[in-house]
């Protein structure tokens, strides 16, 4: 970490950070009392209310990538970053709640890969489980790396020492309390994050003369295009405004977004921990409301940094391609927050990074224990055995994340890295999922063949971009890789399905839309709930709100 990011924290700031760490560990100790079997450890005994899992759903995503990656995008690309929220998140979250959660929750599967096994058999299941486990360790490394940068900035410790110290805290409370500890900490972390980032945004706006002053200063600095969300050519990497819009709507808004939100077990796991199907459906829909307003306290600080932080101003003026935009929010915190608020902001960042890492680790230990170890290594062991495996998997994933954190440290904009990973793992999975859920003719062989070919297509695009064959700057390479993965997966799945045998129709109930009775794929409790607790009306309100935001800030 550069010396420029050494934060001048006072005793009050250190005390606030220490108090936060203490509370996090106490929650882990308290949650341990509720862990009596593997279902308690991995899925909180399916006992949590929707408001808890809804906040945890959004907090699990509000990790390093959301805070540092989106503020970096805000500094580098401006208002176009809003697409990641209003096009690239909320619609898919609503689709998950309204359409897909009845299948997940109603089938009583313990993970998304287990759903794949029931639909397509062990071939697709094994590919999905391994790729998901690898992805979680890589993404946990991003959160851990940024956790370590905060420890480094506060205490000046070497990066490797900071990595180990940060990992130890997350490991402690996940190993103690499992998913319950992660979820209750995520609820706390949501409020801590907002308490940290809202003052940063308001003070930053005050320093630049309010919203009007920010607009004027960005325009004067030659960054007028950063004030518009469309056509976002710098973000997408396409020079053509038309292709830029297509890349964002199809690559980000459909393939990457739906691939992440509807099939990513990190998020789905929170909904699966609820106490009813209505609560499971409501979880992502409740999360959609804060999600659509998060960019105002994440993206805007990055934009403020472009006119307030000397290092960012200089990098933009000189078009410095090597500048690390991941530092934008830390530099802004350094420059604008007084004693006390600095401690709150640092606690908020620590909360965000721990929430993200804990979500990755808790999803990893579930898939490793249930979908890999129990399914392929040691079957039919007592429940307590798999609980122990889950705890050891937590330790192993945390140690591996220390290694993958060093990979993350090599990227100047972590969103580039993350979108690449999503193109590899989420885009082909979504293609297989959506085709298999709505086309009963799709075969088990097509399930694994589509996944492998789609992932290979994404990797091929990545390699072509890296060696310069394809010229796609910004995050355009990730969008194209995701689109290629989706299309190749669909084509291969259809072709293979035509020449291989499908599963008997009788085995598809609860797994394919047309073969599932209406009372199973709908929510039998919904009609008894008031409208403000019913998933479909809530989803309609959220969709209308996000459309209005897209129109206002176009």
pLDDT digits (tens, 9 = 90+) for 86-136: 998 999 999 998 888 887 777 777 778 888 888 898 888 898 889 888 888
pLDDT digits (tens, 9 = 90+) for 181-219: 667 777 777 888 888 889 889 999 999 888 888 888 888
Whether 460 has a pLDDT exceeding 50, the answer reads yes
Tell me if residue 48 falls in helix, strand or coil.
Answer: strand
Cβ contact 175:390 at 8 Å: no
pLDDT digits (tens, 9 = 90+) for 242-292: 888 888 888 788 887 888 888 777 778 778 778 778 888 888 999 999 999
DSSP 160-211: HHHHHHHHHHHHHHHHHHHHHHHHHHHHHHHHHHHHHHHHHHHHHHHHTTHH
Tokens at residue 24, please? 């996090």
* Residue 48 β-bridge partners: 274
Task: Tell me the domain boundaries of the chain.
Answer: 3-31+39-552
Average pLDDT value for the chain? 81
Give the percent of the chain with pLDDT over 70: 86
Q: What pLDDT is recorded for position 235?
A: 73
Q: What pLDDT is recorded for position 477?
A: 73
pLDDT digits (tens, 9 = 90+) for 341-372: 777 777 777 777 777 777 788 788 888 988 89
Q: What pLDDT is recorded for position 1?
A: 43
Q: How far apart are CA 357 and CA 55, in angstroms?
A: 16
pLDDT digits (tens, 9 = 90+) for 484-531: 889 999 999 999 999 999 888 888 887 888 877 666 556 666 667 777
Report which DSSP code applies to 528: G
Whether 406 has a pLDDT exceeding 70, the answer reads yes
Tokens 């077990």 -> residue: 265
Q: How far apart are CA 501 and CA 480, in angstroms?
A: 32
Q: What pLDDT is recorded for position 62?
A: 76
Whether 232 has a pLDDT exceeding 50, the answer reads yes
Higher pLDDT, 4 or 293: 293
Tokens at residue 10, please? 């006072």
Burial class (CB in 10 A: 0-12, 13-18, 19+), 533: middle
pLDDT digits (tens, 9 = 90+) for 52-95: 888 888 877 776 667 877 888 888 888 888 888 999 899 999 99
Higher pLDDT, 438 or 104: 438
DSSP 265-313: HHHHHHHHTBSSHHHHHHHHHHHHHHHHHTHHHHHHHHHHHHHH-HHHH
Least confidently predicted of 287-301, 459-473, 523-537: 523-537
Q: What is the CATH number of domain 3-31+39-552?
A: 1.20.1730.10
CA atoms 493, 494, 500, 504: torsion sign: positive
Give the percent of the chain with pLDDT over 90: 14
pLDDT digits (tens, 9 = 90+) for 124-180: 889 888 988 888 888 888 878 877 777 776 667 777 777 777 778 777 766 766 666
Whether 3 has a pLDDT exceeding 60, the answer reads no
Over residues 456-462, mean pLDDT: 89
Res. 2 pLDDT band, cuts 50 70 90: very low
* Residue 274 β-bridge partners: 48
Report CA-CA distances (Å) from 371 to 114, 124, 132, 375: 7, 12, 11, 5
Greatest mean pLDDT range, 327-336, 359-368, 443-452, 533-542 = 443-452
Over residues 429-451, mean pLDDT: 90
Over residues 525-553, mean pLDDT: 83
Higher pLDDT, 349 or 447: 447
Q: How far apart are CA 368 and CA 126, in angstroms?
A: 11
Q: What pLDDT is recorded for position 35?
A: 60
Whether 47 has a pLDDT exceeding 70, the answer reads no
Whether 9 has a pLDDT exceeding 80, the answer reads no
Where do runs of H (alpha helix) occur along 367-475? 383-408, 414-438, 444-466
Q: How far apart are CA 429 and CA 231, in angstroms?
A: 28
Tell me if residue 77 falls in helix, strand or coil.
Answer: helix
């Amino acid at each position: 970490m550069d010396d420029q990011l050494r934060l001048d924290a006072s005793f009050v700031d250190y005390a606030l950070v220490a108090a936060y760490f203490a509370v996090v560990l106490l929650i882990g100790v308290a949650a341990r009392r509720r862990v009596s079997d593997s279902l308690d450890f991995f899925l909180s005994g399916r006992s949590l209310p929707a408001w808890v899992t809804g906040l945890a759903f959004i907090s699990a995503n509000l990790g390093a990538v959301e805070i540092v990656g989106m503020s970096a995008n805000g500094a580098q690309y401006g208002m176009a970053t809003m697409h990641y929220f209003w096009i690239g998140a909320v619609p898919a979250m609503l689709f998950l709640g309204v359409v897909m959660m009845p299948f997940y929750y109603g089938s009583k599967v313990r993970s998304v890969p287990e759903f794949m096994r029931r639909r397509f058999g062990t071939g697709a299941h094994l590919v999905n489980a391994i790729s998901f486990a690898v992805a979680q360790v890589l993404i946990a490394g991003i959160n851990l790396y940024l956790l370590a940068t905060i420890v480094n900035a506060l205490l000046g410790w070497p990066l490797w020492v900071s990595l180990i110290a940060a990992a130890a805290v997350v490991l402690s409370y996940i190993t103690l309390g499992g998913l319950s500890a992660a979820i209750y900490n995520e609820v706390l972390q949501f409020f801590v994050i907002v308490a940290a980032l809202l003052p940063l945004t308001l003070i930053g706006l005050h320093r630049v003369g309010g919203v009007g002053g920010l607009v004027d200063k960005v325009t004067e600095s030659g960054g007028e295009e950063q004030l518009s969300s469309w056509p976002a050519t710098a973000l997408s990497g396409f020079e053509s405004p038309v292709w830029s819009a297509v890349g964002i709507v199809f690559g980000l808004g459909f393939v990457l977004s739906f691939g992440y939100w509807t099939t990513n077990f990190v998020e789905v796991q929170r909904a699966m921990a609820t106490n009813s199907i209505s609560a499971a459906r409501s979880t992502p829909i409740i999360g959609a409301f804060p999600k659509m307003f998060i960019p105002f306290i994440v993206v805007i600080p990055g934009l403020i940094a472009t006119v307030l932080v000397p290092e960012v101003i200089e990098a933009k003026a000189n078009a410095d391609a090597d500048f690390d935009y991941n530092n934008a929010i830390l530099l802004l915190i350094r420059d604008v927050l007084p004693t006390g608020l600095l401690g709150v902001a640092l606690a908020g960042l620590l909360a965000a990074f721990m929430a993200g890492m804990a979500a990755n680790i808790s999803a990893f230990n579930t898939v490793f224990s249930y979908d890999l170890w129990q399914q392929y290594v040691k079957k039919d062991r007592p429940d307590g055995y798999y609980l122990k495996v889950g705890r050891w998997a937590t330790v192993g994933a945390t140690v591996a994340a220390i290694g993958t954190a060093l990979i993350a440290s090599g990227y100047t904009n972590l969103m580039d890295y993350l979108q690449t990973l999503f193109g590899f793992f989420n885009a082909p999975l979504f293609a297989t999922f959506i085709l298999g859920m709505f086309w009963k003719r799709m075969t088990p062989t097509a399930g694994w063949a589509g996944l492998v070919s789609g992932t290979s297509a994404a990797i091929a695009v990545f390699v072509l971009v890296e060696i310069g064959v394809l010229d796609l700057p910004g995050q355009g390479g990730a969008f194209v890789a995701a689109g290629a993965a989706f299309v190749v997966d669909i084509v291969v799945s259809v072709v293979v399905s035509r020449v291989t045998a499908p599963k008997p129709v009788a085995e598809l109930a609860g797994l394919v839309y047309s073969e599932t009775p209406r009372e199973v794929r709908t929510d039998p409790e919904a009609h008894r709930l008031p409208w403000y607790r019913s998933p479909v009306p809530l989803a309609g309100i959220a969709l209308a709100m996000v459309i209005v935001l897209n129109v206002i800030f176009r």
